[in-house]
């Protein structure tokens, strides 16, 4: 038995062209692989609240979410890595100093100020306008925080990243590989590889029997950790360089082609 871990945006779904569902061809391959006795897992930067019914339709065996900060199997929470409370406060202070709209992601809640109109609009346009808690105590929200997500224009990301390194040091990872509205800040202790290892330990499976599929820099750790790392054809060059296999891009159903090759 093997365990397969799939990134969502840019891997399972063609988010580049604003597709929000897994293609029928990929869904069929996921079902075929499961029928062979293997287990399939989502491994995403998304939180539980950002997983639509269409994304969950294949019937995944578990979820590695918030870049590995939260892991769930059979509806049971297996792992949750919260930010250090002081670091969470410092991160919010940094974002406010930079004038960034931001949200606070916890395992089962997403907190946002009502004044964050542009960031709210980004999520509402994707059908996620109903996930937010607007009336909250900041200390309570930060005590649950796993990551922050900020609205940072593409042209400002290098500057904000450099400034974050100056202010917050190596305690924080900055991930801006996505589009507008997806600039993430989370503790360096969190990674998809850590979430993957939680699942493998639970299953009693070694990393040599694990497969990782991704396209972004937040997929690098799990691609390195698993016995076989697969980069999408649309992946960033650094991800392709680390992968064992590069398959066609997501818009060409590259994932289905990779699964046919690996699990003939």
Q: Which residue has the tokens 């580049």?
A: 16
Tokens of 91: 């991160």
* Cα–Cα dist 243/231, whole Å: 6
Handedness of CA 59, 109, 64, 261 (dihedral sign): positive
% the chain with pLDDT above 90: 84
What's the whole-number mean pLDDT along residues 101-126?
Answer: 93
Q: Which residue has the tokens 């190596």?
A: 170
CB 214 within 8 A of CB 11: yes
Residue 100 backbone phi and psi in degrees, to 5: -90, 135
* Cα–Cα dist 29/31, whole Å: 5
Give me the numbers of helices (H) and strands (E) for the chain, helices first please.
10, 14
- Which residue, among 138, 94, 133, 99, has the nearest Cα to 118 in the 3D structure? 99
Question: What is the set of domains in the chain, with CATH numbers?
Answer: 3-80+191-262 (3.40.50.1000), 85-187 (3.30.1240.10)
In this prediction, residue 247 carries a pLDDT of 97
Q: Rg (Cα) of the chain, in Å, rounded?
A: 18
DSSP strand pairing (147-150 vs 102-105):
antiparallel
**Per-residue pLDDT tens digits for 169-218:** 999 998 876 566 578 999 999 999 999 999 999 999 999 999 999 999 99
Tokens of 237: 């060059």
* Cα–Cα dist 40/59, whole Å: 8
**Per-residue pLDDT tens digits for 10-67:** 999 998 777 788 999 999 999 999 999 999 999 999 999 999 999 999 999 999 999 9
**Per-residue pLDDT tens digits for 221-231:** 999 999 999 99
Bridge partners, residue 183, by sequence: 150
- Write the DSSP string, 25-81: HHHHHHHHHHHTT-EEEEE-SS-GGG--HHHHTT--SEEEEGGGTEEEETTEEEEE-
Residue 75 backbone phi and psi in degrees, to 5: 75, 0
């Amino acid at each position: 038995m093997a365990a397969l871990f799939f990134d969502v945006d840019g891997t399972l779904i063609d988010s580049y062209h604003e597709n929000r569902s897994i293609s029928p061809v990929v869904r069929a391959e996921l079902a075929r692989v499961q029928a062979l006795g293997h287990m399939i897992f989502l491994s995403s930067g998304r939180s539980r609240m950002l997983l639509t019914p269409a994304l969950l339709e294949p019937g995944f065996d578990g979820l590695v979410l918030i870049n590995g900060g939260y892991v769930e199997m059979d509806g049971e929470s297996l792992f949750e890595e919260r930010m250090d409370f002081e670091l969470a406060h410092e991160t919010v202070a940094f974002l406010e100093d930079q004038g960034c709209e931001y949200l606070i992601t916890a395992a089962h809640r997403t907190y946002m100020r009502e004044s964050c109109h542009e960031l709210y609009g980004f999520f509402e346009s994707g059908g996620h306008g109903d996930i937010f808690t607007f009336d909250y105590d900041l200390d309570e929200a930060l005590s649950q925080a796993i990551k922050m997500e900020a609205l940072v224009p593409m042209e400002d990301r290098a500057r904000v990243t450099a400034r974050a390194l100056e202010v917050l040091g190596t305690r924080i990872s900055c991930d801006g590989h996505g589009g507008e509205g997806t600039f993430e800040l989370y503790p360096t202790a969190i990674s998809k590889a850590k979430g993957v290892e939680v699942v493998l330990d639970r299953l009693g499976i070694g990393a040599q029997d694990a497969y990782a599929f991704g396209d972004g820099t937040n997929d690098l750790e799990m691609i390195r950790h698993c016995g076989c790392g697969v980069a999408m054809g649309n992946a960033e060059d650094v991800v392709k360089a680390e992968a064992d296999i590069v398959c066609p891009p997501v818009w060409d159903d590259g994932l289905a082609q990779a699964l046919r090759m690996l699990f003939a």
